[in-house]
Amino acid sequence: MLKPLPKARSSDLLRARLREHGLKLTHQRELIAELFLSQDHITVEELYHEVAKNDPSIGIITVYRTLKLLCQWDLAQERHFGKGKTIYDNVAWKSHHDHLICTKCGRIIEFSNFQIEKFQEQVAGEHEFRITFHKLELYGMCKTCDTHVGKRPPRAHGHTA
Amino acid sequence: MLKPLPKARSSDLLRARLREHGLKLTHQRELIAELFLSQDHITVEELYHEVAKNDPSIGIITVYRTLKLLCQWDLAQERHFGKGKTIYDNVAWKSHHDHLICTKCGRIIEFSNFQIEKFQEQVAGEHEFRITFHKLELYGMCKTCDTHVGKRPPRAHGHTA
DNA sequence: TCTGAATTGAAACGAACTTTCAGTATGTTG
DNA sequence: CAACATACTGAAAGTTCGTTTCAATTCAGA
């Protein structure tokens, strides 16, 4: 489920940030951060379950707190699709991007488009507004779900990846 | 605070929808809908306070329920800017639009831009995705707040209007 | 006016966090 | 390496925003 991505580097990143802020490196933080930084996006609940596989003694409270720290350091970003749970985006090695969200299977595709951002700036200019960040979410159906409409629902295909 | 907009028409709209669905016209629904339909966007809390000015006996629960009905009938739309309270958009006489949100004073400006929507379709096509709806939110500072950065904060200027 | 179904308000409930607090782990200093 | 000041942790209680339950009330058609 979780990709074996930059392992050494993710713990380096964590250590560096902790040191910068005079915070302590605990094994809880180490585990939570490593698991978080080796995937794309995840909810607190999901991450908590992953963490529990390795160390069931860690509470979900600590997962909340650690994710909040990662957000402060721009290693994570909160997302609120619809009104449900918060999704935390791993942005440690990624630049800004927007999302396509399949309303049927929950699949999330990341993209970025220069033209769109250009016109956003234009709109902002027309309203004498200075943009600091933006969110663009395109909801609809991915190809797999779309071709299965009315038929038997497709088998799960990458809900979280 | 609340604009004296289409009054007769808003109650007609309500009556029509209630009748269509075999629901009853209560004075609570009438008041809540009229107040809601005479402004642009509002939170449950705010609308509840407006309602209370006219009839303090109406509970916030009924405001929740009535807004939910209006949403079902496409007279209102839920918005979730950031993680805070839900904002209900009056869309009774409006077509789709997106938002500029001032992170300082909370002011919300509506806009729509054909070019952006065109490129959204292009992106979707590239990912074999069929868009059913989208959300675009541009966060930043409105002119008033921007020119007051570092100085005394500006007086309130249209937070909700 | 009668009557049954829809509606209402209060209160309990629920989900998703957040805060509080006493015990514990960490890293630094000597 | 031991001591110590602090940061950190988990559990439980508390918030916030919203939903469900339920007895009492209101509405609208006959």
What kind of architecture, by CATH, is found in domain A98-146?
A: 2-Layer Sandwich (3.30)
Report the percent of chain B where pLDDT is more than 70.
87
pLDDT at B117 over 90: yes
Per-residue pLDDT in tens (0 to 9) along chain A, 161 residues: 555 545 557 788 899 999 989 999 999 999 999 999 999 999 999 999 999 999 999 999 999 999 999 999 999 999 988 777 899 999 998 888 999 999 888 888 999 999 999 999 999 999 999 999 999 999 999 999 888 766 554 454 544 33
Give the N- to C-terminal CA distance of chain B in Å, as an integer: 8
Query: Which chain A residues are Cβ-neighbours of B146 within 8 angstroms?
Result: 130
Q: Kindly determine whether residue A134 and residue B139, on different chains, have CB atoms separated by under 8 Å.
A: yes
Query: Which chain A residues are Cβ-neighbours of B123 within 8 angstroms?
Result: 100, 111, 113, 116, 138
Q: Kindly determine whether residue A129 and residue B116, on different chains, have CB atoms separated by under 8 Å.
A: no
State pLDDT tens for residues B29-56: 999 999 999 999 999 999 999 999 999 9
- For residue A90, give how far its alpha carbon lies from the nearest alpha carbon of chain B (Å): 18
The confidence score (pLDDT) of residue B2 equals: 54
Cβ contact A59 with chain D strand, < 7 A: yes
Q: Kindly determine whether residue A109 and residue B127, on different chains, have CB atoms separated by under 8 Å.
A: yes
The confidence score (pLDDT) of residue B157 equals: 52
Band of residue B1 on the pLDDT scale cut at 50, 70, 90:
low
The confidence score (pLDDT) of residue A160 equals: 39
The confidence score (pLDDT) of residue A1 equals: 55
The string of DSSP codes covering chain A is ------HHHHHHHHHHHHHHTT----HHHHHHHHHHHTSSEEEHHHHHHHHHHH-TTS-HHHHHHHHHHHHHTTSEEEE--TTS--EEEE-TT----EEEEETTT--EEEE--HHHHHHHHHHHHHTTEEEEEEEEEEEEEEHHHHTTTTSSPPPP--S--
The confidence score (pLDDT) of residue A161 equals: 34
Spell out the domain ranges in chain B: 7-90, 98-146
Cβ contact B18 with chain C strand, < 7 A: yes
Band of residue B65 on the pLDDT scale cut at 50, 70, 90:
very high
Closest residue to C8 (CA, C1′): B62
Q: Are strands B129-142 and B98-102 parallel, antiparallel or unpaired?
A: parallel
| CATH class of this structure's domain B7-90 | mainly alpha
Residue of B nearest to A110 (CA): B127
pLDDT at B103 over 90: no
**Would you call B80 an interface residue with chain A, using a CB distance cutoff of 8 Å?**
yes
Cβ contact A22 with chain D strand, < 7 A: yes
The confidence score (pLDDT) of residue B93 equals: 87
Q: Kindly determine whether residue A128 and residue B138, on different chains, have CB atoms separated by under 8 Å.
A: no
The confidence score (pLDDT) of residue B26 equals: 96
Nucleotide with C1' nearest the A21 CA: D7
HSE-CB at A84 with a 13 A cutoff on CA atoms is: 10
